[in-house]
Amino acid sequence: MQIRKILVPVDGSDYSQRAAEYAADFAKMVGAEVVLLICRMSIPPILGQVAYDQARNSLVAQAEEVLEPCRRLLRERNVPFADRVLEGKVEVAIVDAADYERCDLIIMGSRGHSELEGLLLGSVTHRVLQMASCPVMVIR
């Protein structure tokens, strides 16, 4: 199996940062590209334009804040990468992005910010393991 593209969902948690670090080293070793993914909440269309714009700007700024350390890490290690910001249900966005981007592997943290502490895995990680069509590597 040749790994050319690795999807790395990030959310700013320590777990996702460790996954990004692992993915950077792994991608460098196998000559793969990394696709960083952050999933943000959807903005309700019922908001007025001013409130909608404020909410969108805040969510974009939060996504940039989470992505930048990962971008810096990949640049420093000379790993080619792209990044995507999607909205919606996190596990569905991850699986859909992996399929759309034709990723050979997903590397993700065992838990994230959006999860309550589970017994073994965060629920998003567990659902991605169940739904993904490619292998998933979980980093603790």
Task: Write the CATH number for 19.
Answer: 3.40.50.620
Has residue 21 been placed in a domain?
yes
Has residue 132 been placed in a domain?
no
Q: What is the 3-state secondary structure (H, E, C) of the chain?
A: CCCCEEEEECCCCHHHHHHHHHHHHHHHHHCCEEEEEEEECCCCCCCCHHHHHHHHHHHHHHHHHHHHHHHHHHHHCCCCEEEEEEECCHHHHHHHHHHHCCCCEEEEECCCCCCCCCCCCCHHHHHHHHHCCCCEEEEC
Q: In the chain, how many domains are there?
A: 1
- pLDDT of 90-133, one tens digit each? 999 999 999 999 999 999 999 765 544 444 456 899 999 999 99
Has residue 130 been placed in a domain?
no
Has residue 139 been placed in a domain?
no
The residue range of the domain holding 61 is: 3-124
Report for 22-26, 51-55, 57-61, 124-128: range of highest mean pLDDT: 22-26
pTM: 0.90
Average pLDDT over residues 39-55: 87
